[in-house]
């Protein structure tokens, strides 16, 4: 696949400097405008401040881009007709010259292809909730991407409408280790504790880096999934009640053909009085900061200079 790098990302990779990969699917298809651009640029600044190179990944006219320019990122964030490009869509998008945001799974694939060792996002896709025996099981390609690519991914759990125990079971089946950062509990995205446990606890970025190095020495090909919970002081109180209400409202008002995740997140934002986006922004910032610490420990040169 034709891949274009920003000069900063190319130079950092050539010199073994720390780089963190970032998806754009949530910028084009989850977060509302103009908050999406504000968050994307803010996360890039966060990584720069941590002496780490941000590599925001997207597709521009059929070309995979590792390190979007500010103008390209603004275009992806502002246009209403952007494609959401998953791993299975990459060949079609290349052949047809499509422009769009790449899913987490596609970003993980492209990041690994070029030697980026660490990625950060808000929440992981996973197994969808089933409400009857007739429901077809759905799961995100994020899970198989983690099974196939030995990167480190920092998240705050799975996205809020998904099946947490089902997702954790699939990750176990796929041999993807789930490490809890300074917690035994698996992060609950908008809340600190999902009610489920991680496989192991790690209390520093150094421990995570050591586990990643040990995995590589053992020749294992799976990612490390890092669960980074938000502090209790920042979580959304009575979240289960808010979520139940948002699900009902979203189901009643969902336009035909609408993106269900986008509608539900917007409804949740309304139900929580603006708290959902505040927490979403903060957990992404915290995940980027932890990812930068890990990337610096895994890099040949532990920092970059402008």
Number of domains in the chain: 1
For residue 130, being part of any structural domain is answered with yes
Determine the pLDDT at residue 32. Answer: 83
For residue 305, being part of any structural domain is answered with no
State the CATH number of the domain containing residue 104. Answer: 3.40.1790.10
Query: Residues of the chain whose pLDDT is less than 50?
Result: 132
Long-range CB pairs of 265-270, under 8 A, 24+ apart, other chains included: 265/30, 265/31, 266/32, 268/160, 268/242, 268/243, 269/32, 270/246
Determine the pLDDT at residue 253. Answer: 80
For residue 215, being part of any structural domain is answered with yes
Determine the pLDDT at residue 128. Answer: 80
Whether omega for the bond prior to residue 34 falls within 30 degrees of 0, making it cis, is yes
Burial class (CB in 10 A: 0-12, 13-18, 19+), 256: exposed
List C-alpha distances in Å: 109 to 119, 145, 241: 11, 7, 36
Query: How many Å apart are CA 170 and CA 26, to the nearest integer?
Result: 23
Query: How many Å apart are CA 92 and CA 284, to the nearest integer?
Result: 30
Question: pLDDT digits over 208-240, tens only?
Answer: 999 999 999 999 999 999 999 999 999 998 888
Question: pLDDT digits over 73-110, tens only?
Answer: 999 999 888 999 999 999 999 999 999 999 999 999 99
E strand or H helix at 161, and its extent?
Answer: none
For residue 285, being part of any structural domain is answered with yes
User: Is 51:303 a contact under the CB 8 Å cutoff?
Assistant: yes
Per the structure block, which two tokens stand in for 183?
């917690």
Query: How many Å apart are CA 257 and CA 81, to the nearest integer?
Result: 14
For residue 304, being part of any structural domain is answered with no
For residue 303, being part of any structural domain is answered with no
For residue 306, being part of any structural domain is answered with no
CA 268 to chain CA mean position, Å? 19
Give the domain extent around 197: 3-298
pTM: 0.93
For residue 14, being part of any structural domain is answered with yes
**To the nearest whole percent, how much of the chain has pLDDT over 90?**
75
């Amino acid at each position: 696949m034709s891949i274009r790098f920003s000069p900063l990302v190319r130079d950092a990779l050539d010199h073994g400097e720390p780089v963190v990969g970032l998806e754009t699917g949530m910028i084009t298809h989850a977060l509302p405008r103009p908050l999406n651009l504000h968050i994307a640029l803010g996360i890039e600044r966060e990584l720069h401040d941590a002496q780490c190179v941000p590599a925001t990944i997207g597709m521009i006219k059929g070309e995979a881009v590792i390190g979007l320019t500010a103008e390209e990122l603004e275009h992806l964030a502002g246009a209403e007709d952007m494609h959401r490009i998953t791993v299975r869509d990459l060949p079609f998008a290349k052949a047809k010259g499509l422009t769009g945001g790449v899913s987490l799974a596609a970003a993980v694939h492209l990041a690994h292809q070029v030697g980026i060792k660490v990625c950060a996002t808000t929440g992981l896709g996973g197994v969808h909730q089933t409400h009857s025996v007739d429901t077809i099981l759905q799961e995100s390609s994020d899970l198989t991407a983690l099974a196939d690519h030995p990167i480190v991914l920092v998240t705050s759990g799975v996205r809020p409408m998904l099946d947490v125990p089902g997702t954790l079971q699939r990750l176990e089946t796929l041999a993807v280790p789930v490490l809890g950062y300074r917690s035994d509990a698996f992060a609950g995205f908008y809340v600190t504790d999902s009610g489920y446990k991680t496989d192991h606890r790690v209390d520093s970025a150094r421990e995570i880096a050591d586990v990643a190095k040990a995995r590589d020495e053992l020749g294992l090909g799976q990612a490390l999934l890092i669960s980074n919970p938000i502090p209790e002081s920042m979580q959304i109180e009575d979240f289960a009640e808010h979520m139940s209400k948002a699900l009902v409202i979203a189901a009643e008002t969902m336009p035909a053909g609408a993106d269900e995740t986008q509608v539900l997140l917007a409804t949740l934002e309304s139900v929580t009085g603006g708290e959902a986006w505040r927490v979403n922004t903060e957990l992404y910032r915290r995940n980027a900061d932890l990812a930068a610490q890990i990337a610096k420990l895994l890099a040949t040169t532990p920092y970059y200079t402008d």
